C-alpha cells in the first residue's frame, strides 16, 4: 500500500528497529541510519520484554534471551531473591537488532547525522557515511536516537540522576547473577554474565556524578557503604568508565505531521524498575499505525497525533510513579538523592469514575476515532474486552437500573453468541467495575 512513501529511521536500537519492522509490514520503504553504540553496556530484561520481541517478530533478539540470571535485591534492608532477569550485552543485542532489520529487508546505512533535520514538503536528513556527505529525502522521519537525541532543552524531567558504568573482568562463577543494593547517595547494580565478564553500575545525583572522573573516584565510596561488592573481588577493570544521564524525562512535543519520537527519544524513565526496553516496545508497537494514519488518512491525522501523545505521556507518568514507589521504600537515608526521588512526581487526584469518551483505537492498520470506556485501570480507554466490543453494553448499563442492565446483558450475550465462560468473565468485570 505504501511502497512509494519513504520513511527514514534515525537509530538502530530497540525502538528504532522494531518501529522500522512494523512500518515495513505496512508496506513502507524504510531505511535506518545508525551509528554504533559509543560505549559497552549491559542491561537486565524481563520475561514480558522477551515476549514482546516475539510478538514484534524480532527472532534474533528473542534468541539472545535464553539464559536467566538470579536477581538478588537488597533494597531498603529487604533482602530477597526477587526474580530472574535476562542480562544482555547491548553491543551483542544491537547486532541481533540489525540482523532482524536485514531479515525484514530494511535498508541500513551506517553514518552520522549532520546538523538539524530540514522539514519542507519532504523531510531532508543530512548524514556522513564512509567520509562521504549525503542527504536522505523522505516523507517522514522516526527519531530513535535514545538519550543521545539532540533535543536537550525540549524535555520535562524529574530529579537528575547519572549512572556510572564500569565493565569488569572477574573470576569464573558457577551461575550468572545480578544484584541491586541501596546506598546513602544512590544505588548499585552488579552483574556477572558468564565468560569472566562482569559489570557494575552506580546511580547517583548530578552533584556527586560531577566529582567522579575515574572508577578509582567511586570505588572508595562504595567500599564504605557496607554492601556486598562481590563484583569487585579479584576484579580487573575492562575498558573506560562511562558516565551517562539516567533520569526520567519526556519530550514536550513527541510527534508532528512529519516526525515521531520513539523509545528514549520520546520518553525515558529511571532504569531502576528495569522497564526501559519494555517502554520502547510499547511505543514501537503503536507508532507504525500512527505514522500510517498521518500519511494516509488526512481526516484522522490530528486524532492519531493526540492518540500517540496521550499514550507516551501516560506510560511516562505510570513508570515515574513506579519509580517513586520503589524509592519510597528506603527509609534509612535522608540525603537529597532519596528525598527528591521520594517526592517526584507530585501526587495527583485521579478521577476514578467510569465514563464513555470520544478517543481512538487501532483498527486495520490505522488510528480511527471511537468511543471508548474509561476506567481506573484503563485510563486510556478500552473498546474491546477480550474480543468483545463493550461500549454499547457499558453505555446502557451506566444509564439504566440494575434490573434493566441485567436484562440488556442477557440479550447482548445472546446477540453476540457468547460462550458461557465469556459471559461469566464479562459479567464479573461489569460487577467489579461497578458498571452494574
Indicate the DSSP class of residue 116: P
What is the rounded average pLDDT of the residues 315-338?
A: 93
* Peptide bond connecting 411 to the previous residue in cis, omega within 30 degrees of 0: no
Q: What percent of the chain has pLDDT over 70?
A: 99
- Per-residue model confidence (pLDDT) at position 328: 95
Residue 148 scores a pLDDT above 90: no
All three cell numbers of 387, joined, read 474480543
Number of H helices, E strands in the chain: 13, 24
All three cell numbers of 317, joined, read 507518568
Q: Which of the four pLDDT bands, split at 50, 70 and 90, describes residue 157?
A: very high
All three cell numbers of 30, joined, read 524504510
Is the backbone of residue 118 left (phi > 0), alpha (psi -120 to 50) or beta?
beta
What is the rounded average pLDDT of the residues 256-273?
A: 91
Backbone angles phi, psi at 357, to 5 degrees: -135, 150
- Per-residue model confidence (pLDDT) at position 228: 94
What is the rounded average pLDDT of the residues 401-417?
A: 95
Q: Return d(Cα 8, Cα 140) in angstroms, integer.
A: 7
Contact 286, 362 (CB under 8 A): yes
Question: Which has the closest alpha carbon to 98: 160, 24, 36, 6?
Answer: 36
- Per-residue model confidence (pLDDT) at position 235: 94
- pLDDT per position as a tens digit, 202-259: 999 999 999 999 999 999 999 999 999 999 999 999 999 999 999 999 999 999 999 9
What is the rounded average pLDDT of the residues 424-433?
A: 94
- Residues constituting the chain: 436
- Per-residue model confidence (pLDDT) at position 274: 64
Q: Return d(Cα 252, Cα 385) in angstroms, integer.
A: 32
Residue 272 scores a pLDDT above 80: no
Q: Return d(Cα 84, Cα 49) in angstroms, integer.
A: 13
Q: CB under 8 Å, gap of 24 or more: what pairs does 63-67 form?
A: 63/96, 64/88, 64/92, 64/93, 64/96, 67/176, 67/194
- Per-residue model confidence (pLDDT) at position 82: 61
- Per-residue model confidence (pLDDT) at position 153: 86
Q: Which of the four pLDDT bands, split at 50, 70 and 90, describes residue 1?
A: low
Cβ-based neighbours of 48, under 8 Å, separated by 6 or more: 278
Q: How far out from the chain centre does Cα 387 lie? A: 26
Indicate the DSSP class of residue 273: G
Mark 294-326 as b/e (b = at least 16 C-beta within 10 Å): bbeeeebbebbbebbbbbbbebbbebbeebbeb
Task: Quickly tell me which residue has 499514550 as its cell.
Answer: 311
- Per-residue model confidence (pLDDT) at position 273: 61
Indicate the DSSP class of residue 212: -
- Per-residue model confidence (pLDDT) at position 125: 97
Query: SS3 for 363-386, per residue?
Result: ECCEEEEEEEEECCCCCCCECEEC
- Per-residue model confidence (pLDDT) at position 38: 84
Contact 204, 237 (CB under 8 A): no
Question: Which has the closest alpha carbon to 401: 435, 353, 357, 374?
Answer: 435
Beta strands at 68-75 and 177-183: parallel, antiparallel or unpaired: parallel
All three cell numbers of 122, joined, read 519532504
Q: Return d(Cα 201, Cα 94) in angstroms, integer.
A: 20
Residue 79 scores a pLDDT above 90: no
Model's pTM, two decimal places?
Answer: 0.92
Query: SS3 for 156-172, per residue?
Result: EECCCEEEEEEEEECCC
Amino acid at each position: 500500500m505504501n511502497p512509494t512513501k519513504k520513511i527514514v529511521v534515525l537509530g538502530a536500537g530497540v525502538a528504532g528497529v522494531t518501529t522500522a519492522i512494523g512500518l515495513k509490514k505496512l508496506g513502507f520503504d524504510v531505511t535506518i541510519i545508525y551509528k554504533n553504540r559509543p560505549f559497552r553496556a549491559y542491561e537486565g530484561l524481563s520475561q514480558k520484554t522477551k515476549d514482546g520481541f516475539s510478538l514484534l517478530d524480532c527472532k534474533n533478539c528473542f534468541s539472545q534471551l535464553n539464559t536467566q540470571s538470579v536477581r538478588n535485591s537488597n533494597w531498603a534492608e529487604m533482602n530477597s531473591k526477587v526474580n530472574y532477569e535476562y542480562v544482555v550485552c547491548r553491543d551483542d543485542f544491537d547486532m541481533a537488532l540489525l540482523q532482524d532489520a536485514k531479515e525484514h529487508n530494511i535498508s541500513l546505512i551506517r553514518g552520522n547525522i549532520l546538523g538539524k533535520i530540514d522539514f519542507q514538503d519532504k523531510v531532508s536528513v543530512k548524514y556522513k557515511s564512509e567520509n562521504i556527505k549525503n542527504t536522505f529525502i523522505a516523507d517522514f522521519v522516526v527519531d530513535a536516537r535514545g538519550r543521545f537525541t539532540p533535543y536537550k532543552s525540549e524535555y520535562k524531567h524529574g530529579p537528575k540522576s547519572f549512572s556510572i558504568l564500569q565493565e569488569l573482568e572477574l573470576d569464573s562463577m558457577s551461575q550468572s547473577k545480578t544484584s541491586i543494593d541501596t546506598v546513602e547517595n544512590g544505588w548499585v547494580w552488579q552483574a556477572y554474565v558468564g565468560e569472566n565478564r562482569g559489570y557494575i553500575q552506580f546511580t547517583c545525583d548530578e552533584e556527586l556524578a560531577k566529582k567522579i572522573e575515574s572508577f578509582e573516584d567511586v570505588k572508595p565510596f562504595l567500599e564504605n557503604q557496607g554492601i556486598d561488592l562481590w563484583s569487585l573481588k579479584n576484579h580487573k577493570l575492562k575498558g573506560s568508565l562511562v558516565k551517562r544521564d539516567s533520569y526520567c524525562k519526556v519530550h514536550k512535543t513527541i510527534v508532528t505531521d512529519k516526525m515521531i519520537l520513539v523509545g528514549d527519544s520520546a520518553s525515558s524513565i529511571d532504569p531502576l524498575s528495569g522497564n526501559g526496553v519494555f517502554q520502547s516496545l510499547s511505543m514501537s508497537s503503536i507508532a507504525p499505525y500512527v505514522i500510517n494514519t498521518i500519511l494516509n488518512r488526512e481526516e484522522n491525522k490530528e486524532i492519531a497525533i493526540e492518540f500517540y501523545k496521550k499514550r507516551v505521556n501516560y506510560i511516562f507518568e505510570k513508570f515515574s510513579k513506579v519509580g517513586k514507589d520503589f524509592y519510597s521504600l528506603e527509609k534509612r537515608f535522608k540525603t537529597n538523592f532519596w528525598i527528591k526521588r521520594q517526592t517526584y512526581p507530585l501526587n495527583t487526584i485521579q478521577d476514578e469514575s467510569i465514563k464513555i469518551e470520544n478517543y481512538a483505537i487501532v483498527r486495520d492498520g490505522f488510528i480511527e476515532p471511537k468511543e471508548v470506556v474509561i476506567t481506573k485501570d484503563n485510563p486510556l480507554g478500552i473498546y474491546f474486552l477480550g474480543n468483545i466490543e463493550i461500549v454499547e453494553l457499558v453505555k446502557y448499563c451506566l444509564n439504566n437500573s440494575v434490573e434493566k442492565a441485567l436484562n440488556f446483558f442477557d440479550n447482548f450475550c445472546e446477540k453476540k453468541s457468547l460462550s458461557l465462560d465469556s459471559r461469566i468473565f464479562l459479567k464479573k468485570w461489569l460487577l467489579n467495575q461497578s458498571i452494574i
